[in-house]
Structure 1
Amino acid sequence: MDFKTEPIIDVREAGIFQGLDAVLTNVNFDIQKKEFVFLIGRTGSGKSSLLKTLYADLPLRMGHVEVVGFDLGKIKNKDIPFLRRKLGIVFQDFQLFSDRSVAENLFFVMKATGWRDKGKMKSRMAEVLMLVGLADAATKMPHQLSGGEQQRVVIARALINSPDILLADEPTGNLDPDVADGVFKLFQEINKQGTAILMATHNHDLLRKYPYRVLKCEKGQLLDSKTADISINTSF
């Protein structure tokens, strides 16, 4: 079966709003299984608002958006947790509980998304920590980890429920270049294993080095490198 027949994200004639203000209009794109897509644009151009709309943190006010089978124009509040179980969300500022160990941070998310069997929880936690290269970090506190290691914990947390796609908002923005490159390679490995990636970034070097598809927020519009010539050399 051709995976392109069933996009993970399908956006048609959508408006992306912050409050009553439209930040993007007539947005059209889809993302297929196993794709890796960059999202770029100047600060304030709508990148974060688009991502927040995709995981239902901002309401969809205009157009059609379907994410992992959920119609965001019709989704009810009680169903939003089920949407997010099928997504992995990675933030720039980590958002780890500073007073809880790595294991406790992961268990918190697992309990919140319906896990109950402690044995299965421990097994899955070990799997994701192994995947991100932190097999021995379960008992450590966040302050005992480097910035790159903390970001790997955040990625592990996002992978807990085997999501169809990871939405990443500037995941390497606060990291040194060498550390950022290692984290990016981890995203590539996750992508090779079948998880789609939509990554917002300001990192020009990544864009030049890795020729993935690009979506660019610019002047209230979303440009797609599949259908438009997008410059990555201008400031964003």
Structure 2
Amino acid sequence: MDFSSEPVIRVKDACIFQGFNAILQNVNFSIAKDEFVFLIGRTGSGKSSLLKTLYADLDLKMGEAEIVGFNLQKIKKNEVPYLRRKLGIVFQDFQLFPDRSIAENIFFVMKATGWKDKMKMKSRMAEVLMQVNLGDSATKMPHQLSGGEQQRVVIARALINQPSILLADEPTGNLDPEVADGVFKLFQEINSQGTAILMATHNHDLLRKYPYRVLKCEKGQLLDSKTSDITINTSF
């Protein structure tokens, strides 16, 4: 494995567990600071478990892994919030508070990650909402936004701390094709500005249309298109 490009993620000889079950074995890969990488595989193949391990929601029990400078095998519970300040995490199901405005949803994350100056918080919130083309939505409630707009809020929230990498778990899975394409292009814009992207997806049209590197969870292994021939089909 070539680590010469100062990767934001590097994993060596890792075993990914869900409870007591080993979902993926002998996992080896690295992601450079400006890469866009797809993560694919059938439901239950280990995609979400791998992502959860990377943001320390699941323990790394075997092997080595480092992400944005944190050793996941040695990380302590009180260090996990600091790790997540350097990551952006985008979920499929939005996870927005329905009874709080968009501004309040974003402020909640800012306070949880150490922001205290209200003027700086307002300024940064305005920046990220503009970045995702929702500059006039701060006072709206989540139910007043479309699914695509809510996902853009989630992306804005993930960008608050200027992360080195975004981990995205099926971010277009609940969106219709046209809206999904717009959200995907937003990820491309973010990537073009120097943020690495690791995106789990079942959308084979995206994979055929955009020839990014692919990691595939299959039969307990993680295949890498850099070193393996990976067929893109509808079987995942």
Q: Which residue of 2 aligns with 1:152?
A: 152
RMSD of aligned residue pairs (Cα, Å): 0.8
State yes or no: 1:208 paired with 2:179.
no
Distance 1:234 1:116 in 2: 47
Distance 1:148 1:191 in 2: 19
Distance 2:112 2:54 in 1: 20
Check whether the contact 1:101–1:139 (CA below 8 A) recurs between aligned residues.
Answer: yes
State yes or no: 1:123 paired with 2:116.
no
Q: Which residue of 2 aligns with 1:70?
A: 70
Distance 1:29 1:213 in 2: 11
Q: Which residue of 1 aligns with 2:85?
A: 85
Distance 2:195 2:103 in 1: 23
Check whether the contact 1:33–1:194 (CA below 8 A) recurs between aligned residues.
Answer: yes
- What one-letter code is carried by the residue in structure 1 that aligns with 2:209? K
Check whether the contact 1:132–1:186 (CA below 8 A) recurs between aligned residues.
Answer: yes
Distance 1:93 1:234 in 2: 22
Residue by residue over 1:88-107, the C-alpha shift from the partner in whole angstroms, topping out at 9 and shown as x without a partner, is 00000000000000000000
Residue by residue over 1:99-139, the C-alpha shift from the partner in whole angstroms, topping out at 9 and shown as x without a partner, is 00000000000000000000000000000000000000000
The CA deviation at 1:4 is: 4.6
Report the identity percentage.
82
- What one-letter code is carried by the residue in structure 2 that aligns with 1:162? Q
Q: Which residue of 1 aligns with 2:225?
A: 225
The CA deviation at 1:5 is: 2.8
Partner of 1:122: helix, strand, or coil? Answer: helix
- What one-letter code is carried by the residue in structure 2 that aligns with 1:197? I
Q: Which residue of 2 aligns with 1:140?
A: 140
Q: Which runs of 5+ in 1 are unaligned?
A: none
- What one-letter code is carried by the residue in structure 2 that aligns with 1:126? A
Q: Which residue of 2 aligns with 1:44?
A: 44
Distance 1:224 1:234 in 2: 18
- What one-letter code is carried by the residue in structure 1 that aligns with 2:127? E
Partner of 1:190: helix, strand, or coil? Answer: helix
The CA deviation at 1:233 is: 1.4
Check whether the contact 1:4–1:32 (CA below 8 A) recurs between aligned residues.
Answer: no
Residue by residue over 1:17-40, the C-alpha shift from the partner in whole angstroms, topping out at 9 and shown as x without a partner, is 000000000000000011000000
Partner of 1:208: helix, strand, or coil? Answer: helix
Q: Which residue of 2 aligns with 1:187?
A: 187
The CA deviation at 1:204 is: 0.5
Q: Which residue of 2 aligns with 1:57?
A: 57
- TM-score, length basis structure 2: 0.98
- TM-score, length basis structure 1: 0.98
Q: Which residue of 1 aligns with 2:29?
A: 29
Residue by residue over 1:204-234, the C-alpha shift from the partner in whole angstroms, topping out at 9 and shown as x without a partner, is 0000000000000000000000000001114
Residue by residue over 1:141-165, the C-alpha shift from the partner in whole angstroms, topping out at 9 and shown as x without a partner, is 0000000000000000000000000
Distance 1:141 1:234 in 2: 36
Runs (4+) of structure 1 exceeding 6 A deviation are none
Distance 1:164 1:49 in 2: 21
Distance 1:114 1:221 in 2: 38
Distance 1:222 1:81 in 2: 27
